[in-house]
Protein backbone atom coordinates (compact mmCIF):
# COMPACT_ATOMS: atom_id res chain seq x y z
CA UNK A 1 0.00 0.00 0.00
CA UNK A 2 1.49 3.39 -1.02
CA UNK A 3 2.08 6.21 1.39
CA UNK A 4 1.31 9.84 0.72
CA UNK A 5 3.84 12.57 0.22
CA UNK A 6 5.13 13.86 3.56
CA UNK A 7 5.52 17.64 3.91
CA UNK A 8 8.29 19.10 6.03
CA UNK A 9 8.54 22.79 6.85
CA UNK A 10 11.94 24.42 7.36
CA UNK A 11 13.16 27.96 8.01
CA UNK A 12 16.33 29.25 6.35
CA UNK A 13 18.43 32.11 7.68
CA UNK A 14 20.35 34.31 5.27
CA UNK A 15 22.87 35.67 7.75
CA UNK A 16 24.83 38.43 6.08
CA UNK A 17 27.96 40.12 7.41
CA UNK A 18 28.68 43.78 6.84
CA UNK A 19 31.05 42.89 3.99
CA UNK A 20 28.30 41.23 1.94
CA UNK A 21 29.22 37.62 2.76
CA UNK A 22 26.66 35.00 3.74
CA UNK A 23 27.15 32.27 6.30
CA UNK A 24 26.95 28.74 4.89
CA UNK A 25 27.31 25.41 6.68
CA UNK A 26 28.54 22.06 5.44
CA UNK A 27 26.32 19.13 6.41
CA UNK A 28 27.97 16.31 8.29
CA UNK A 29 29.00 13.32 6.20
CA UNK A 30 26.87 10.19 6.49
CA UNK A 31 23.46 11.86 6.86
CA UNK A 32 20.90 12.96 4.28
CA UNK A 33 22.77 15.18 1.76
CA UNK A 34 25.96 14.71 3.78
CA UNK A 35 28.82 16.91 2.63
CA UNK A 36 26.54 19.40 0.87
CA UNK A 37 26.63 23.07 1.84
CA UNK A 38 23.49 24.89 2.99
CA UNK A 39 22.23 28.05 4.58
CA UNK A 40 21.62 27.59 8.31
CA UNK A 41 18.16 26.78 9.62
CA UNK A 42 16.04 23.75 10.16
CA UNK A 43 12.74 21.99 10.63
CA UNK A 44 9.76 23.75 12.10
CA UNK A 45 8.12 22.04 15.07
CA UNK A 46 4.30 21.74 15.30
CA UNK A 47 2.76 24.96 16.64
CA UNK A 48 6.02 26.89 16.31
CA UNK A 49 6.09 30.20 14.42
CA UNK A 50 8.58 30.51 11.56
CA UNK A 51 10.59 33.14 13.44
CA UNK A 52 10.73 31.10 16.66
CA UNK A 53 11.81 28.08 14.61
CA UNK A 54 14.67 29.96 12.98
CA UNK A 55 15.86 31.51 16.24
CA UNK A 56 15.84 28.07 17.93
CA UNK A 57 17.63 26.35 15.06
CA UNK A 58 20.35 29.01 14.83
CA UNK A 59 20.90 28.86 18.59
CA UNK A 60 21.13 25.04 18.50
CA UNK A 61 23.19 24.75 15.29
CA UNK A 62 25.49 27.75 15.59
CA UNK A 63 25.24 29.09 19.14
CA UNK A 64 24.06 32.54 17.98
CA UNK A 65 21.09 34.81 18.59
CA UNK A 66 19.73 36.75 15.62
CA UNK A 67 17.72 39.92 15.14
CA UNK A 68 16.02 41.76 12.31
CA UNK A 69 14.33 38.66 10.88
CA UNK A 70 12.93 39.89 7.58
CA UNK A 71 10.91 37.42 5.48
CA UNK A 72 12.24 37.42 1.93
CA UNK A 73 10.62 34.50 0.19
CA UNK A 74 9.50 30.91 0.13
CA UNK A 75 10.44 27.82 -1.82
CA UNK A 76 9.11 24.30 -2.26
CA UNK A 77 11.10 21.26 -3.33
CA UNK A 78 10.28 17.56 -3.57
CA UNK A 79 12.82 14.96 -2.44
CA UNK A 80 11.34 11.58 -3.34
CA UNK A 81 8.49 10.86 -0.92
CA UNK A 82 8.76 14.17 0.89
CA UNK A 83 8.16 17.78 -0.01
CA UNK A 84 10.04 20.48 1.86
CA UNK A 85 8.50 23.94 2.19
CA UNK A 86 11.11 26.57 3.03
CA UNK A 87 10.57 30.09 4.38
CA UNK A 88 13.60 32.32 3.94
CA UNK A 89 14.54 35.16 6.30
CA UNK A 90 17.31 37.72 6.15
CA UNK A 91 18.81 38.27 9.59
CA UNK A 92 21.87 39.49 11.43
CA UNK A 93 23.72 38.07 14.40
CA UNK A 94 22.80 39.88 17.61
CA UNK A 95 24.92 37.79 20.00
CA UNK A 96 27.52 35.07 19.73
CA UNK A 97 30.08 33.92 17.22
CA UNK A 98 28.96 31.11 14.87
CA UNK A 99 30.36 27.71 15.82
CA UNK A 100 29.86 24.49 13.79
CA UNK A 101 27.85 22.69 16.50
CA UNK A 102 25.69 20.71 14.09
CA UNK A 103 27.74 21.22 10.92
CA UNK A 104 31.07 19.97 9.69
CA UNK A 105 32.35 23.42 8.67
CA UNK A 106 31.22 27.04 8.34
CA UNK A 107 32.21 29.64 5.76
CA UNK A 108 31.40 33.26 4.97
CA UNK A 109 30.93 33.50 1.19
CA UNK A 110 30.01 36.29 -1.24
CA UNK A 111 26.83 35.73 -3.27
CA UNK A 112 28.81 35.51 -6.51
CA UNK A 113 30.89 32.65 -5.02
CA UNK A 114 28.00 30.47 -3.81
CA UNK A 115 27.83 28.49 -7.07
CA UNK A 116 31.31 27.12 -6.32
CA UNK A 117 29.88 25.09 -3.44
CA UNK A 118 27.79 21.93 -3.70
CA UNK A 119 24.32 22.86 -2.40
CA UNK A 120 21.19 20.68 -2.38
CA UNK A 121 19.04 21.09 -5.50
CA UNK A 122 16.38 22.87 -3.43
CA UNK A 123 18.76 25.82 -2.95
CA UNK A 124 19.46 26.53 -6.64
CA UNK A 125 16.74 29.14 -7.00
CA UNK A 126 17.80 30.93 -3.81
CA UNK A 127 21.46 31.00 -4.87
CA UNK A 128 20.51 32.36 -8.31
CA UNK A 129 18.36 35.07 -6.68
CA UNK A 130 21.17 36.11 -4.33
CA UNK A 131 23.67 36.20 -7.19
CA UNK A 132 21.32 38.53 -9.10
CA UNK A 133 20.64 40.51 -5.89
CA UNK A 134 16.93 39.68 -6.11
CA UNK A 135 14.64 38.55 -3.36
CA UNK A 136 12.53 35.42 -3.80
CA UNK A 137 8.86 35.99 -4.49
User: Structure pTM?
Assistant: 0.88
Q: DSSP E strands: which ranges in the chain?
A: 6-15, 21-26, 37-38, 41-43, 65-79, 82-95, 105-110
Q: What is the pLDDT along the chain (137 residues), one digit of tens a residue?
A: 446 779 999 999 999 998 889 999 999 888 777 899 999 999 999 999 999 999 999 999 999 999 988 999 999 999 888 899 999 999 999 999 999 987 889 999 999 999 999 999 889 889 998 987 655 54
Residue ranges of domains in the chain: 6-131
Choosing among 3.90.850.10, 3.90.79.10, 3.40.50.920, 3.30.110.30, the CATH entry for 6-131 is 3.90.79.10
Mean pLDDT of the chain, nearest integer = 90
Question: Under the phi-then-psi rule, with left for phi > 0, alpha for psi from -120 to 50, and beta for the rest, what region is 122?
Answer: alpha
Amino acid sequence: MGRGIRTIQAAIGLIERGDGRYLICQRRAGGFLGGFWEFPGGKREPGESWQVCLRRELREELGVSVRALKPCGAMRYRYGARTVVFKVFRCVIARGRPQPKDAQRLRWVRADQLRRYRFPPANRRLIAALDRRHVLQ
